[in-house]
Amino acid sequence: MSGQIEKFYYDNKIVKLFAFATIFWGVVGMLVGLLVALQIYIPALNFNLEFTTFGRTRPLHTNAVIFAFVGNGIFTGVYYSLQRLLKTRMWSDKLSMINFWGWQGIIVAAAITLLMGFTTSKEYAELEWPIDIAIAGIWVVFGWNMFATILKRRERHLYVAIWFYIGTFVTVAVLHIVNSLALPVSFLKSYPIYAGVQDALVQWWYGHNAVAFFLTTPYLGLMYYFVPKAVKRPVYSYKLSIIHFWALIFLYIWAGPHHLLYTSLPEWVQTLGVVFSVMLIAPSWGGMINGLLTMRGAWDRVRDSAVLKFFVVAITAYGMSTFEGPMLSLKSVNAISHFTDWTVAHVHIGALGWNGFLTFGMIYWLIPRMFKNKLYSQKLANAHFWIGTIGILFYALPLYWAGFTQYLMWQEFTPDGFLAYPNFLETVTQILPMYAMRSLGGALYFTGVILFVINIWKTVKTGSFEANEAAEAPALEKEYFAGLGEHWHRPIERKPVRLLIFALIVILIGGAVEMMPTFLVKSNIPTIEAVKPYTPLELQGRDIYIKEGCNNCHSQMVRPFRHEVERFGEYSKSGEAVYDHPHLWGSKRTGPDLAREGSKKLRKSHSWHYNHMFDPTTMSPGSIMPRYPWLMFKDIDVKSTTSKMAVMQKLGVPYTDDEIKSGKENLKAQAEQIASELKEQGVKEADANKEIIALIAYLQRLGSDIEKTAKN
């Protein structure tokens, strides 16, 4: 019945490397997270350096945790389980090593460029174009190696974990490439081909599905392997695996617009984002059920095993955040949560609970096996578990409180019709104690991670690593006769290419339906005649805004609510952002919205901005915004003006050739004008060559265009 027994060896070396990288980057990413959590209420912790200021450290934290910690976690688990589920060694050790070193190289490049201020500003896709190309290349190496391994397998059918790996591979490739399309201006600067609403839609189609297909589907695959292995019980339901896998990948891709509710995204797209998010509850919970109910018959062992405890909390956290997510996608709930810390709390239930704990459990299980050793200390692992769990609670609960409190303050009016808290800063200082509590929670979680590192280190040191683990299995026969009455899904499981293509089709539908009309049907984005392209100086100022990561704390999207209109002015229209490559709507309002900072209602004097950037507390006592003194000393990159405008022109911004040719002179003239006005206002040291001038020009322009319509 079966072929000849063959001997072969599993490659454990690559798994070890990825596991160590996971631990290393986990420590780095979480340490930066802790720094960011402290900086938000102690701005002086940027050490007065541009490189370590919140606008740059926050993207470093998110990128490090998502792509370095979880990314290496994915590779660790996939390289270990794939070989065993297919009864074969990886197809190419060389490709495995390229995958490993390439990925680490990308992480290092990302860390350096982000701190230096090279960023696209698009959340979780901040890296500039050369790194994006490298990511695509390494991802293809990973997929190629995985698929070649699948094709030389000794196991006829693919186990559910591998469906998730395949779905992950193909979807991440599509998301990354479509969202990163940009025209380079220079080696580390580019403008996305999309603008305004379209850019926002593509960005959140990507952003949400980075959560779905980088933090969720690969980890579900890992869950399907490591949970039944560790608990030594059969998976609860094969039928559930099938339905929840296909439903999950089909539905997830539509959900992105729930990040843009009540914005100027066309409302029909918003509605699709809402309903597809709601329909995601059951498919997500399918994964949770299959994970938790696999523990049936072994709950007594959960009490004793740290690994199983980590898995139980991880899967429970997954269930919680996949219920909360759809709730946050309802328009009425989103009106409360969006822009507040509620969202931050929500994502950390997923990151700390689901991704973190599943990773810890997996590594606690893997390392002793590969090092032929017992885990150094079960006690220490249990301590890690409890400190980590308490850390998650201390992290999340204060932020839920903070988010809700701040929203209540934002929307409160006095009976005679005034905002109860007209000064935005009041609503920030109110929640500073919550921020302090949150950083305590983060510190606890990190303490647990240190125990984890010690435990793994001790286990590794006294163990003997088996780089090539012997195994044997019968070769696959050419002919295969399916038994009568086999499940309809079985044929797909023995045809990996077909599975890949089906998965690709399934994930393309949602994106296509939402994007095509938004791109092609003009009525979806009504233009506004008064909205004109930025002047060369403003364009440079906008790039400084991007470089300093202002969008990490300041939104530029006034939603159509009475309290926002009262506070920030007319709500934002899609036609206002048509020249915004990229859009800068933001997702968090740690500081006030800036969409109308240059409007009559909110406009401050140049000198106000100058003094405020030098030291925000002089203009708003108690402010937690960091100082930006380097803007007063650094020169505007004038010579890039021509190429920037030329790229914008190629992207459809209506600059004439003459305007581009005279761009630099125009820039200098406007800069001189602002500098002389600053001097009139008492800022004697104002220098037209400095970055602050460009930034002021940009801020004073924001939201002022539509007032020109009103006048005419």
Residue 137: HSE in the Cβ half-sphere, 13 Å Cα cutoff: 13
Distance CA 112, CA 118 (A): 9
Choose between 182 and 235: whose C-beta lies nearer to another protein.
235
Distance CA 558, CA 565 (A): 7
Choose between 404 and 571: whose C-beta lies nearer to another protein.
571
Residue 57: HSE in the Cβ half-sphere, 13 Å Cα cutoff: 23
Choose between 643 and 681: whose C-beta lies nearer to another protein.
681
CB of 658 to another protein, least distance (A): 30
Choose between 563 and 661: whose C-beta lies nearer to another protein.
563
CB of 237 to another protein, least distance (A): 4
Choose between 188 and 282: whose C-beta lies nearer to another protein.
282
Choose between 330 and 651: whose C-beta lies nearer to another protein.
330
Distance CA 184, CA 167 (A): 30
CB of 482 to another protein, least distance (A): 10
Choose between 137 and 234: whose C-beta lies nearer to another protein.
234
Instruction: Please report, for residues 153, 556, 559, the alpha-carbon distance to residue 189 in angstroms, rounded to integers and kept in the order given.
Output: 43, 22, 30
CB of 620 to another protein, least distance (A): 7
Distance CA 264, CA 35 (A): 34
Residues 6 or more apart from 522 whose CB is under 8 A from it?
Answer: none
Phi first, then psi, for residue 470 (nearest 5°) are: -70, 145
Cβ(85)–Cβ(155) below 8 Å: yes
In degrees, rounded to 5, the angle at the alpha carbon of residue 193 between the alpha carbons of residues 192 and 199 is 70
Torsion, CA 394, CA 395, CA 401, CA 403, rounded to 10: 180
Instruction: Please report, for residues 42, 162, 176, 199, 652, the alpha-carbon distance to residue 206 in angstroms, rounded to integers and kept in the order given.
Output: 32, 23, 7, 10, 23
CB of 141 to another protein, least distance (A): 25
Distance CA 102, CA 26 (A): 18
The amino acid at residue 526 is P
Distance CA 380, CA 401 (A): 32
CB of 177 to another protein, least distance (A): 30
| End-to-end Cα distance, the chain | 85
CB of 132 to another protein, least distance (A): 34
CB of 271 to another protein, least distance (A): 4
Choose between 327 and 530: whose C-beta lies nearer to another protein.
327
Choose between 124 and 225: whose C-beta lies nearer to another protein.
225
Choose between 204 and 254: whose C-beta lies nearer to another protein.
254
Choose between 33 and 266: whose C-beta lies nearer to another protein.
266
Residue 514 CB coordination number (10 Å): 24
CB of 704 to another protein, least distance (A): 10
Residue 250 CB coordination number (10 Å): 19
Structure-block tokens of residue 192 = 């996305």
CB of 610 to another protein, least distance (A): 9
Residue bearing tokens 């740290």: 306
Cβ(146)–Cβ(167) below 8 Å: no
CB of 344 to another protein, least distance (A): 25
Choose between 417 and 658: whose C-beta lies nearer to another protein.
417
Residues 6 or more apart from 119 whose CB is under 8 A from it?
Answer: 56, 59, 113, 126, 127, 128, 546, 547, 549
Choose between 323 and 519: whose C-beta lies nearer to another protein.
323
* Helix, strand or coil, per DSSP, at residue 689: coil
Instruction: Please report, for residues 35, 308, 377, the alpha-carbon distance to residue 364 in angstroms, rounded to integers and kept in the order given.
Output: 27, 10, 10
Choose between 271 and 656: whose C-beta lies nearer to another protein.
271
Choose between 278 and 443: whose C-beta lies nearer to another protein.
278
CB of 422 to another protein, least distance (A): 3
Structure-block tokens of residue 209 = 């599905």
* Helix, strand or coil, per DSSP, at residue 6: strand
CB of 254 to another protein, least distance (A): 11
Which run of H or E residues covers position 470?
A: strand 468-474
Burial 444-457 (b: 16+ CB within 10 A, else e): bbbbbbebbeebbe
CB of 576 to another protein, least distance (A): 15
Cis peptide bond N-terminal to 654, omega within 30: no
CB of 370 to another protein, least distance (A): 15
Choose between 113 and 572: whose C-beta lies nearer to another protein.
572
CB of 283 to another protein, least distance (A): 7
Torsion over CA: 473, 475, 476, 482 (sign) = negative
Torsion, CA 384, CA 79, CA 228, CA 160, rounded to 10: 130
